[in-house]
A and B are shown apart, each in its own frame.
Chain A
Amino acid sequence: MEKSILECIKINKYFYDPVKIQVLKEVDISIKKSEFVSITGKSGCGKSTLLYILSTMDTDYEGKLLIDGIEMRGKKENELARVRNEKIGFVFQFHYLLNEFSVIRNVMLPGLKLAKLSEKEVEAHAYEKLKILGIENEALKKPNQLSGGQKQRVAIARALINNPIIIMGDEPTGNLDKKNSEIVFNIFKELAEVYNQSLLIVTHDNEFAARTHRIIEMEDGRVIR
């Protein structure tokens, strides 16, 4: 059996405010390399909550989380930051680009933080990623000069910069129109099929989900499919 790059075992999660509610119930998920997985479900079923636990940003849960075979529980805040930096790429509903930096700097930031390569090399990588996404001509512009679809593609390039083992997306097409959604979806598909990139995308768009390799459907905090 191929090794899982992301695995969670019996994840339980509670919200305490205003009363104790169990939002995730014994969730088991396993994702293998180059899989393109979507998590769907109705609003409030806990899919985003699950994604933030998987992304190591939320540490208040019960159960086991393994990324690349390494247990995440008990790691310190800065160690988790390092894991996010090196192994996970994020794409959110909103692009979250820093307007003070040019597009290329935005893409380079996580790479500079990782500091495994020199600034020149990181820049070359960033150009490469922008090329894959077809926006290398916008590299020196500021994010607020770009269209919504272009911004989201810059955010994807940023997610790719450190060659993460998995890209996580929280409604990455949620803010985009039909045409741009299509572009973003095709990029994801290309990444998965051509570049063997694993992807885990939370979406409530069933049409989007249906075209991924595997759908994890959630309801009331449980995985039902």
Chain B
Amino acid sequence: MKFKLIASVSKSLLLARWKQTLVAAIGVTFSITMFIGLLSFMSGLNDLLDGLVVNRTPHIRLYNEILPSKIQPIDKSADYNTSYNFIRSIKPKNKLLEIYNNAAVIKTLQSDNRVLGIAPKIIAQVFYNVGTIDLTGIINGIDVEEENRLFLFKDYVVEGNYIDLKNTTNSIVLGKGVAEKMLTNIGDIIQITTSKGERLQLKVVGFFQSGLQDIDKVQSYTSIATAQKLLGESNSYITDIQVKLKDIALAPALAKEYAALFELDAIDIQTANSQFETGSSVRTLISYAVGITLLIVAGFGIYNILNMMIYEKMDSIAILKATGFSGADVNKIFITIALSIGIFGGLLGLLFGFGLSALIDQIPFNTAALPTVKTYPINYNPKFYMVGGIFSIITTYFAGYLPSRKASKIDPVIIIRGK
């Protein structure tokens, strides 16, 4: 009942100056629209750029690093374990890249319920033979199906069918950059030389484009079996285990755990790609800053209009107070006005923001570096809409706060006697 009365008084004051009210509401609508549009677009771009690397990168990679032993024989000697031992010219020990007993490691990982999936991999250094010239390159031997499930391999195969890699023996998916240098087409046979000097002929079944040119100029993919044949190793040979987790945030902790458990080197995605995270967080920060600036400007608009309204409606406020409305009631009336501008403008803004995002989403965006992207990327994250809505209410509340206080402090005696 009491709120109904305050609402009806607020409404009448609002409608008395409906043009100004509309301008104020449009200010809020505009800023929320831009806020949503900007954040959705920026965040879409972020996701795209991160996806370039993050989708293709395992959350944890288990491998053997070629390093000198941390503990040298002299450290184990009881005679010298209390002294500093200086040894010069240490060389890495002859440790193989192969992961020992990898079947057991994979089994353990598969039974860990924090793990989404694992894909074994072989990395081999090769030369692509083009006439008399040898191009250096890297061949990744992959489990085609798992690689596709976990790392969206299919999306990056721009020509040919990825599954042929599994179905055709001695086949290869060439990096787009390599293919251009070698002038090959799908169905051609190319020759490569391994680091041990063995030669092998492989059939090209597809081209691969990651969007990162440096990678496309070097890397190619074969099945694990082909890679093992290439290196002349047994069918249990693998050099890397790629782990994808259910929660990416756990990666650093789990990487340490697995490194200790399996006595392997482990690197997590956060450590490997920290620069990407920094980039996205800075871009997000900028979009928030711009959005909030817009909102604050809109807030000043509301502040001005309320102030004007108070000067204009001084008489009405005075008579309301004389007939028994308390300062708190008058305060509520003006806060109600401010908030209804904020809520109305904000809701429209959210709607228009969605519209703007949808519009940007339709704009064609073709770039050679990003084969899977056809239009500008948009992230329709409900979080932005929540933040936008909450911000519009908070800023309009604060914009209304000072004028409302002023209105509530109006002394009716001064107004009424002043006439």
Contact = CB atoms under 8 A, between A and B. Distances in A.
Interface string B321-357: 1111111110000000000000000000000000000
Interface in A85-125: 85-86, 90, 92-94, 96-101, 109-110, 112-115, 119
Contacts of A58: 413
Interface string B306-320: 000000000110111
Contacts of B324: 81-82, 84-86, 110, 113-114, 162
A78 B1 contact: no
A84 B324 CA distance: 5
B318 A96 contact: yes
Contacts of A81: 321, 324-327, 329
Nearest to B324: A85
Given A93-B419, A101-B12, A113-B5, A82 B413 contact: no
Interface in B361-419: 411-413, 416-417, 419
Nearest to A109: B323
A158 interface: yes
B251 to A, nearest CB: 58
A82 B326 CA distance: 8
A12 B407 CA distance: 29
A150 interface: no
Contacts of B285: none
Interface of A: 48, 52, 55, 57-58, 77-78, 81-82, 84-86, 90, 92-94, 96-101, 109-110, 112-115, 119, 158, 162, 170
A90 B322 contact: yes
A4 to B, nearest CB: 22
For the side of the interface on B, what is the size category? 20 to 34
B323 A90 contact: yes
Contacts, number: 77
A98 B316 contact: yes
A68 to B, nearest CB: 15
B15 interface: yes
- Most A-side CB within 10 Å, residue of B2, B9, B15, B16: B9
20 contacts: A52-B413, A52-B417, A57-B321, A57-B322, A57-B411, A78-B327, A78-B328, A81-B321, A81-B326, A82-B326, A85-B324, A92-B322, A93-B419, A96-B315, A96-B318, A109-B5, A109-B9, A114-B324, A115-B2, A119-B1
A96 B413 contact: no
Contacts of B411: 57
A221 to B, nearest CB: 16
B30 to A, nearest CB: 28
Given A82-B326, A114-B324, A100 B1 contact: no
A113 B325 contact: yes
Nearest to B316: A98
Contacts of A170: 416
B13 interface: yes
Interface in B130-154: none
Contacts of B328: 78
Contact of A57 (B325, B329, B413): B413
Given A58-B413, A94-B416, A112-B5, 6 more contacts: A48-B417, A57-B411, A57-B413, A84-B322, A86-B324, A162-B324
Closest 3 CB pairs of A and B: A85-B324, A100-B12, A81-B326
A92 B415 CA distance: 11
Contacts of B1: 112, 115, 119
A77 B329 CA distance: 11
A100 B419 contact: no
